[in-house]
Structure 1
Amino acid sequence: MSGRSIDARVSQRAFFGVSALLFTVSAAVTIAGAASMSAMGAMPMPGGWTMSMTWMRMCGQTWPGVAASFLGMWVVMMVAMMLPSLVPMLWRYRDTVGGMGETRLGWLTVMVGAAYFFVWTAFGMAVFPLGVALAALAMELPALARAVPLAIGVIVLIAGALQFTAWKARHLACCREAPGRCLTLCELPALAALPADAATAWRHGLRLGLHCSYCCAGLTTILLVAGVMDLRVMAVVTAAITVERLVPRGERAARVIGAGIVGAGVLLIARAVGLG
């Protein structure tokens, strides 16, 4: 066995080992955070649902403190949820830029991952004030609060329908393909290989993060409306994202997942109408 082959195997093991460790730590912290949030309880609301304390300020807290706490929790949760489907994309990036020292390649890979999660961090920063505002309105307007279960059902139904669109298929393809091919699919100049520099790595990570956030828009919305710190919802959404990214026929998997989501949306609407 050649020295280059041995080095490649060591590099591969190190990469997947670090990825597994990062996933384990982020999943453990997410579970602990969800358990802590669950122990705080939830507020019963008109319409037979409960509001998570995620969107509320507790005694002694400041709004900047609440926002910082939410953002930290959000980033760790996104790492746990997205890393299983991100790891293959990072590995394909390493294959594309290869031909350099392991240390430099490692730093470039970290740069891609950091840019990817920067996009999700920005998404969380936009979500928090919106969630707080909607929670405040629901507490002040009982009629609005009673409409929330129906609204959740409609949102879930729309998220399921989104799984069948060409828009979803295009962004899913970008998340599944190698870097140069992804650029071609997205009508950008094709590259035989990405330049091995930090600026390109950062831009590539941003591009991956944007396509991923678009591709996961419906599934992420379900997470937000069904329970942003509900471990069961997180597990289901994570499984759906991972399956449609990694199985051989991802577009078909996305449609199967969409059918299940549409069915869940119909059941939620029927339940909300029945309770009404």
Structure 2
Amino acid sequence: MSTLIVSRPAYRSQRAFFVVSALLFAASAAATIVWCASMSAANRMPMPGGWEMSMAWVRMCGQTWTSAAASFIGMWDVMMAAMMLPSLVPMLWRYRRAVAAGCASETRLAPLTALAGIGYFCVWTALGAAVYAAGVALAELEMQAPVAARIVPVSAGAVVLIAGALQFTEWKARHLASCREAPGHGRTLPADAATAWRFGLRLGLHCSYSCAGLTAILLVIGVMDLRAMTMVMAAITVERLAPGGEHVARGIGGVTVAAGLLLIMRIVALG
């Protein structure tokens, strides 16, 4: 009887963790779909070279740069939540187990797990701010210099090619291994806020580095393209969670290199 009484709160805590994770994913995915639908083809600007620039990088009439940046970063955070949660949730679950192994109470697990998740997404928020600043600068250049705009399609192909090659590097393998590594290496973790925050930040940094190439592909193909988001999310999730993640990453790299070459050849052929 005592075992049942002790295990019941743990079961409720575990169930709540997965229910909340599922709801966060569903909400972020739905918001991302609505955002992408609102930023339709009508919200794209034809550019020299036969391509269209997303208006995400252009300030709307009457909008300040501060509000434009805040709007982009907010949408970026929602999109990253939808893309990263499938691979993040198992790591947060392992973190909970490592903390619980140190006899932490069930009531402390939820706030500590939430803090670790916030730390993780703070890294992606900072990256979103950097991406927006770079995107705005490039958009300004492309609008003012037609020559720069004309080389964008072939440059996008080159980015895809380089991103594919990055999948084969030791740098990628090292950060991917850190993303896949169980918290605590089989040991317990302290049940304190500082450890939770550091864990989230460290995991966020390793995962942002590991995803650098795939994130670059998303940006050049279309940051508001649902198909591109789905493919990148699938690639990130599989290489982090599937057995033999390093081999999976190299397989993804091979496909990406081939896609980059085909894209460049197609652009060159079209002249």
Return the TM-score normalized by structure 1: 0.94
Q: How does 1:1-276 map to 2 (within 5 A)?
A: 2-38=4-40, 40-98=42-100, 99-181=103-185, 192-276=187-271
Provide the C-alpha distance between the structure 2 equivalents of 1:256 and 1:10, rounded to a whole number of angstroms: 40
* Seq. identity, %: 68
Provide the C-alpha distance between the structure 1 equivalents of 2:20 and 2:173, rounded to a whole number of angstroms: 31
Return the TM-score normalized by structure 2: 0.95
Contact 2:10/2:106 (<8 A) preserved = no
Contact 1:56/1:132 (<8 A) preserved = yes
Aligned residue for 1:2, secondary structure, equals helix
Counterpart in the other structure of 1:185: none
Extract unaligned runs of 5+ from structure 1.
Answer: 182-190
Provide the C-alpha distance between the structure 2 equivalents of 1:271 and 1:41, rounded to a whole number of angstroms: 26
Aligned residue for 2:151, secondary structure, equals helix
Letter in 1 for 2:31: V
Provide the C-alpha distance between the structure 2 equivalents of 1:112 and 1:141, rounded to a whole number of angstroms: 44
Counterpart in the other structure of 1:187: none
Contact 1:46/1:145 (<8 A) preserved = yes
Contact 2:215/2:232 (<8 A) preserved = yes
Letter in 1 for 2:158: V
Extract unaligned runs of 5+ from structure 2.
Answer: none
C-alpha RMSD of matched pairs (Å): 1.3
Letter in 2 for 1:169: A
Contact 1:40/1:53 (<8 A) preserved = no
* Structure 1 stretch displaced more, 37-46 or 27-36: 37-46
Provide the C-alpha distance between the structure 2 equivalents of 1:100 and 1:207, rounded to a whole number of angstroms: 22
CA-CA distance at 1:122 after TM superposition: 0.3
What are the superposed Cα offsets for residues 51-100 of structure 1, whole Å, 9 maximum, x if unpaired? 00000012221211111110100011111110000000000000101022
